[in-house]
Structure 1
C-alpha cells in the first residue's frame, strides 16, 4: 500500500530500503573510527559533505547506533537550538547534561567556566585567512566585567574542566574510552550561527583528548555563510580546510529505483515493466536524484493519486495519471515534471509556456551565431516558424500528430535561456545536443532529451488526453 514518506532520517535501515548506500558508507566509517582511536588526541573534527537532502542525517544516525558501546555518543541537532543566543554554549550544555544524575560537581564547573568563556564569543570571533583568530579586545572586555579571571586563565580553566569531564565519563567501569559528537542540521541554521559554532569547536572544544566531532555539512551552505559574513576576504574552501581535520563525502549514486518503488506496488505494471521502475528511470534521465526532493515530489503525486481514487474526485479536474487500468504514462511523466518545476524551479515554472520571451531569446541567439543572411534565414525558418501559440490549447483527441506537431510540443517545453542556438536543432535528439547549447543544464533541458526518447509514446498517448497542455499547468497550480 503506497504511503507518504517523511523527510526524516530512515530509522529502520535495511538493504531493501537503503536507497542512498548508507550501510556500505557507514560500515567504512565505523571501521575508520574504531581503528584510529590512537589518533584522536590530535585529529578531532571530521565532516561529512553532502548537499541538502542527500542523507547526512540518516548516515550519522546509523553511525551513532553502530558506535554505541565503543564510544559515548552525543547527537546535537543544531537547528533545534537556533533560537538560543549562543549555539556553542548550547552544544556544551547538551554534552554535559546528557546524564543528569552523575558527575554533578564536574559538570557545574565546566558549565560555569564555559559560560564565561563563550559569553560574547559570537561578537569576538574573527577569521584571518587561512586560519581562525579571536578579537582579543572584545573578549577581554567581556571577561574583565567579571573582574577575574583573565582571558588566558579562563581558557586554561576550560581546558582543565573539559578534560576532567572527559575523564569522568570515559574511565568509569565499563565506560567507553572515547566520545563522539554528531553535529546535524547546520545547513538549516543562520550563516552567523554556523560560523560561530564551527569556530568555537575549533578553538575551544578541541582542548579535549578523548572527544571527536563529526559534522554533516552542505558545502554550499558554508560558502554562503562565509560570503555573507566576510565577503571575498575569506575563501570558503580555506575555511573548511582549517576547521576539519578529515572530510568524507556522501555516496553519489543514489539508488532511485529502491526509493521510488517504496511508493508503487510491484503489481502495477505496463507490459513487462513496473511503473515504479519507469518513474525511477524518468528521474534518472532528468538528473533529478536528490532523495529528499524525490520524496517531496512523490508525496504530492501520491496526494493526486489518492484524490483520483476518492469520491471527491468527481468534482475536481485531475491529471490523468496512470492508476490501475486508467491513465497514460505520458500524462504521468508530465504531471511529475510539472510538480518538479513548481516545487524546485519556480522561475522556470512561471515562464514555462512564455513563447513571446522564448522567441525573442532564440531570435537574438540566432542573430549572434549567423553572419550570412541566407544561413540566418534558413535557421529562423527551421526554428521560429514552429512557434504555434494555439497549440497550447489544442484537444489532441482528433489531432493528426505529425513530426511538425512534435517539434511544436518540444518548443513549449524547451529552455527559455540559450547560449548558442543553431537551426534545425529540434529535428532530432542529436541535433538538439549539438545545436542547442546552454552553460547550465537544468531540468527543462534534460526533459527535452527525455521527450525525444519517448517520442512514439507521446504521439500515441496524446490522442487519449482529455485536456490541453495548458490545462495541466493549471491543474498543478491549483491542486498543490
Structure 2
C-alpha cells in the first residue's frame, strides 16, 4: 500500500490511525531509551503499519530512521549495519546540525573499530605469528613455546584487565557521542526522540537477529533514542532456539532486550478484501447477485469474503489474490458466475496449497478432484454456521467434473460422497439442492484447465503492495 506523505492514513483500510496515535503518545512520554516490539504474524501488516507510523512521526517533526534488518543480514556485524543507517540519515539534516552530526559520526566510526565483534581477533594475530615462528622445519621448539606461553599468561591477564578498563571508557564515549548525535536529528528538542524502526527481524539469520537485539539494547541504550521492532515474536523465538537450544525460555530471554510488547490487533479479514477490491475497481465485477441464491441477496463479493475467511488468508495473501483477480478480470473474457467461483477457489489453492494446485491436469482428473474435496472438508467442517449453499455448490461443481449429472445419477453421487465423509442430513440436503442447480451448467476438466491458464497468465504481472 502506498503511504501518502501528506496523509499517511489516506489508504488505511485497516483503521490503524488510532493505534499509531496511542503508540506515539506512549513513546514520547519516555525520557530514557526504550525498545518497543510490534508483534504480529507473517503477512498481518507490520511493514505497512510502521511505515504509516514513520510518516506520521515525520509530519510531527519527530526524526525517524528505517532499518530493514533482513536486507542487511549479509553483513558480518549488526553494529556496523546499524551505524551505517544512522550515517545515511545525516544527509537529511541541514545547517549547523548537519555539520555537528558529521563530526559526531566520525567519532562513532573511530570507536566502532574497538567495539566490533572481530576487534579482538586482530590482537591475536601477532601471538599466532610468534608461535608459528617457534615451529621450524616441522619440529616444535617445546622449551621456547613453554617459556613464551608462561610469559604470555601473565601478559594476557594484565592485557585483559587493561582491555576491560579501556572497553568501558570506549563504550562510555561511544554512547555519549551517539546521544549527542541523536540530539542533532531532534534539533536539540529534548521532547523529541530519534525513533529507529527495525523491520523484518524475524526473517534474518538467527545469529544476526540476536546480534541486532543485543546491539540495540546494550550499545544504543542512550537518551534520545527509541527502538521499535516489527517482528513475529513466535518466529523470532524459533530463531533464538536454533542458536541456544530448544529448551530455552524464549520469553525470559527476550525480556532482557525488549522493554514493551504491543500486539498488533488482528484485522477483520473480510473488511480488508472488500477494501482491496474497491481500490482496484473489482467491485463492479463482484457486486453481482448470485442467481442461484436470489432469496439471500448474495453476491460474488460475499463468496470471495467467505472463501478468504474459511481459508484464513493473511493480508499479504489477500493482496496476492486480488492481484490475480485484477489481471484476470481485466484481460479475460467475461466469466460465468460458476467460473468466477472456481476462479476464486483455484486462486486460493495456488496461494495456500501450491502442490495441490499444480496437480491439476487432464491426466489426474479423478485424483485431483478427490484431493480437492478432501481439502475443502478440512477447511469447511459440517458444523460450520453457514446458511448459504455456496460451498456445497462448489463441491457439486467439482463432483460433476468426474461424474456429470447428465449421464450419472446425482443421487448416487451424493450418497457416495455423504457416506465417505459421514455427513449429517443437513449437509446432505444442501448437497442435493446444490446439485439440482449444478445440472443446469455442468463444469468439465477443460473449464478448470482454462481457468488455471488465466491464473498462470496473471502471475506474469506484479502489483506493488506493501503489507
Q: Does 1:51 align with 2:66?
A: no
Aligned to 1:291: 315
What SS does structure 1 have at the residue aligned with 2:323?
Answer: helix
Q: Please identify, of 269-278 and 251-260, the stretch whose mean Cα deviation from structure 2 is larger.
A: 269-278
Kept in 2, the 8 Å contact 1:110–1:165? The answer is no
Q: Which residue of 1 aligns with 2:349?
A: 341
- Root-mean-square deviation (Å): 4.2
Matched residue, 1:166: 182
Equivalent in the alignment of 1:417? none
* Partner SS, residue 238 of structure 1: helix
SS at match of 1:97: helix
Cα deviation, 1:209-254, whole Å, max 9, x if unaligned, reads 1111001011232022112212224232222332211111222133
Aligned match of 1:239: 253
Q: Count how many residue pairs are aligned between Structure 1 and Structure 2.
A: 374
Task: Report the 3-state secondary structure (helix = DSSP H, G, I; strand = E; otherwise coil) of the residue aligned with 2:255.
Answer: helix
Alignment of 1:100-179 (within 5 A): 100=91, 101-103=98-100, 104-120=102-118, 150-170=166-186, 172=188, 177-179=192-194
Change over 3 Å in CA distance of 1:245–1:462 after alignment to 2:
farther
2:12, 2:113 → 1: CA distance? 42
**Which residue of 2 is the match for residue 261 of structure 1?**
278
Mark the CA change 1:357 to 1:270 in structure 2 (over 3 Å): closer, same or farther.
Answer: closer
Larger Rg, first or second structure (1 or 2):
2
User: Are 1:9 and 1:55, in contact at CA under 8 Å, matched by a contact in 2?
Assistant: no
| CA displacement at 1:296 relative to structure 2 | 1.0
Residue pair 2:276, 2:322 contacting (<8 A) in 1 also? no
With over 3 angstroms needed to count, the CA separation of the structure-2 counterparts of 1:122 and 1:63, relative to structure 1, is farther
266, 274, 279: which one aligns with 1:252:
266
Report the Cα distance in structure 2 between the residues aligned to 1:214 and 1:453, rounded to whole angstroms: 51
What does residue 332 of structure 2 align with?
Answer: 308
Kindly indicate whether residue 52 of structure 2 is the aligned counterpart of residue 27 of structure 1: no
Shift, 1:46, TM fit: 0.2
Q: Which runs of 5+ in 2 are unaligned?
A: 92-97, 122-155, 290-296, 361-365, 375-397, 460-467
How many angstroms apart in 2 are the aligned matches of 1:216 and 1:50?
Answer: 8
Q: Cα–Cα, structure 1 residues 401 and 31, in superposed 2: closer, same or farther, change >3 Å?
A: farther
Shift of 1:44: 0.5
TM-score, normalization: structure 2? 0.67
**Farther-moved stretch of structure 1 (74-83 vs 190-199):** 74-83
CA shift, 1:165, in A, is 2.0
Q: Is the 8 A contact 1:47 1:248 kept in 2?
A: yes
Q: Which runs of structure 2 are paired with 1:367-406 in the superposition (5 Å)?
A: 393-394=401-402, 396=404, 398-399=406-407, 402-406=410-414
Deviations 1:336-362 (A, max 9, x none): 22222233323554679648997xx9x
| CA-to-aligned-CA distance 1:417-447 (integer Å, 9 cap, x gap) | xxxxx9862235679xxxxxxxxxxxxxxxx
Contact 1:22 1:58 in 2 (8 A): no
What corresponds to 1:327 in structure 2? Answer: 336
Aligned to 1:365: none
Are residue 80 (structure 1) and residue 96 (structure 2) matched? no
Shift of 1:22: 1.7
Contact 2:307 2:345 in 1 (8 A): no
TM-score (norm 1): 0.65
Deviation at 1:87, TM superposition (A): 2.5
2:288 is aligned to 270
Aligned to 2:149: none
Segments of 5+ residues of structure 1 without an aligned counterpart are: 1-7, 124-139, 310-322, 362-389, 412-421, 432-451
Higher RCO (CA 8 Å, separation ≥ 6 residues): 2
